Amino acid sequence: METKTYVKSDLVNSIQSKYNNLPARDIERIIDVIFKYLSNCLVSGTSIEIRNFGCWRIKKMKPKSARNPKTGESISVGEKNKICWKSSKFLNQRINKNIEK
């Protein structure tokens, strides 16, 4: 199965094909506002849950020591935040429906 990356312009075109009365630039602005809002929620530490799709949350990663693979030198990596994604049970079932044969 060949995979394709679905980009924002694909989303805009898909929505515009269903709602021809909306100009593409307005659809793109709406999408930008939604993504900006979701990003701001994550930055402020708020988790996001979209039913039947999944949820995002911020997880604090503890400081650790690591090695530079090129030089072998030991370095210290400070505390940082990481976005964790968990897909919904519904989405997992839909994704795996074709695999279980």
Domain boundaries, the chain: 8-96
- Per DSSP, 15 falls in state H
Report the pLDDT value the prediction gives residue 47, as an integer from 0 to 100: 96
Q: Of 35, 83, 36, 93, nearest to 59 (Cα)?
A: 83
Please report, as a single letter, which amino acid is at residue 2: E
What's the pTM value of the predicted model, to 2 decimals?
0.76
Pick the CATH number of 8-96 from 3.20.20.80, 4.10.520.10, 3.40.50.1100, 1.10.3720.10: 4.10.520.10
Q: How far apart are CA 49 and CA 61, in angstroms?
A: 21
How far is Cα of residue 60 from the mean position of the Cα atoms in its chain? Answer: 17
Span 46-99, pLDDT tens digits: 999 999 999 999 999 999 999 989 999 999 999 999 999 999 999 999 999 866
